[in-house]
Chain A
Amino acid sequence: MKLARPPRRGAPETIVALIDVVFFLLVFFLLVGRMDATAPFEVTPPVALTGADLPGGGATVAIAADGALALDGAALDRAPLMRVIADRLAREPDLRVRINAHAAAPLSGVLPLAAEIEALGASDIVLVVTPGPP
C-alpha cells in the first residue's frame, strides 16, 4: 500500500526582520518629511543662494502664481486672511510670518501684502526660498 506523504512545510520566515525594516523606513520618513508650509495649490519657492535656515513655527501665508492666498494650508481671501493674522498677532506679538510665494508670482501681489502684514504689527516677516543655483 502506498501512503501519500504529507506535504512538508517550509520553515516559516521570520517576520521580525520585515518589521525592523518597515520601522526604520517609518522613522526615516517621519524625520525627513516636513508637513508645514503647505498650501492647497502648487507653490514653487524662488531659488536663492544666500538664504538662511528656515526656522519652524509661525504662520505661513502661501501665494500662488495667480495671486490666490492661503494661510497655513487653508485657502482664504485677503480680507479674512488679514483678520486672522491680526488676531494671531494680538495674542502673539512676536509671531513669525512666513511668506511662501510662488517664484512666478508678480510682486504687485506680494509686496503690498507684506507691507500690510507689517502694518498690522508683525516684526518678523520672512520670505521662503529654496537653496540652489539660480
Chain B
Amino acid sequence: MQITRRHRQGVVVSLVAMVDVLMIMLVFFMVTSTYLDLDMIPVAEAAPDGPAQGGVAAVADAATADGPLLIRIGADGRSVFRGVPLEPTALTEMLADARAQDPALEVLVLPSGAADVQALVSAMDAVTRAGVTRVRIIRLEPRP
C-alpha cells in the first residue's frame, strides 16, 4: 500500500523584518538629507586669455586697456561706484546703460576684505543682471 505524502506547504517568510529594515533606512535618509537647493557662481574658469589674476598689477593693466568700470564694495557691504553708494537695482540700471554704449564692457569688482560673502554675491548678481559678461573680482595684496 502506498500512502501519498501530504503536500508540504512552503515556509511563509515574515514581512515584518523587511518592514523594520525599510523603516530604519527611511528614518536614516530623512535625518541625513539636506534640502537646500544649491546653485553656483563661477569664481575662476579657464578663460581664453589666460586665468584672471588678482593684485594691484592686474588693476593697472586693465585700467589702461579698455576703460573698465570699477565697483568697490565697502566694509558695510554697499556697492560704491565713483564715490557714490548705489543700491543693487540702481547699479544694475547704471551698468545696463553703460553696456548699451559699450557691449564689450568690462567690470572690475574690488571688495573690501571686511565685507561679507553675501555682499559680493549681491554685487555680482547686479552686474550679471545688467547683462555684463566680463566681470573680474580683484583684490589688493600687500607687496612683499
Contacts and interface: CB of A to CB of B under 8 A. Distances in A.
Contact of B40 (A26, A104, A118, A128): A128
Interface in B24-59: 25-26, 29-30, 32-46, 51, 54
A52 B112 CA distance: 25
Contacts of A38: 34
B28 to A, nearest CB: 9
Interface of B is mostly: mixed
Nearest to B73: A107
Given A26-B26, A48-B125, A111-B137, A128 B113 contact: no
A47 interface: yes
Contacts of A74: none
B39 A114 contact: no
Nearest to A108: B113
Contacts of A103: 116-118, 121
A45 B121 CA distance: 10
A22 B43 contact: no
A90 to B, nearest CB: 18
Interface string B2-20: 0000000000000110110
Interface residues of A, number: 54
Contacts, number: 161
Interface string A37-57: 110000001111111111100
A129 interface: yes
A108 B114 contact: yes
Interface in B91-117: 111-117
Contacts of B19: 15, 18-19, 22
A125 interface: yes
18 contacts: A22-B19, A48-B39, A48-B41, A49-B125, A103-B118, A105-B117, A107-B112, A108-B113, A111-B113, A112-B139, A114-B43, A115-B139, A124-B42, A124-B44, A125-B45, A128-B38, A130-B37, A131-B39
Interface of A: 15-16, 18-19, 22-23, 25-26, 29-30, 32-35, 37-38, 45-55, 98-99, 101-108, 110-112, 114-115, 118, 122-131, 134
Closest 6 CB pairs of A and B: A33-B33, A51-B39, A108-B113, A29-B29, A126-B40, A46-B121
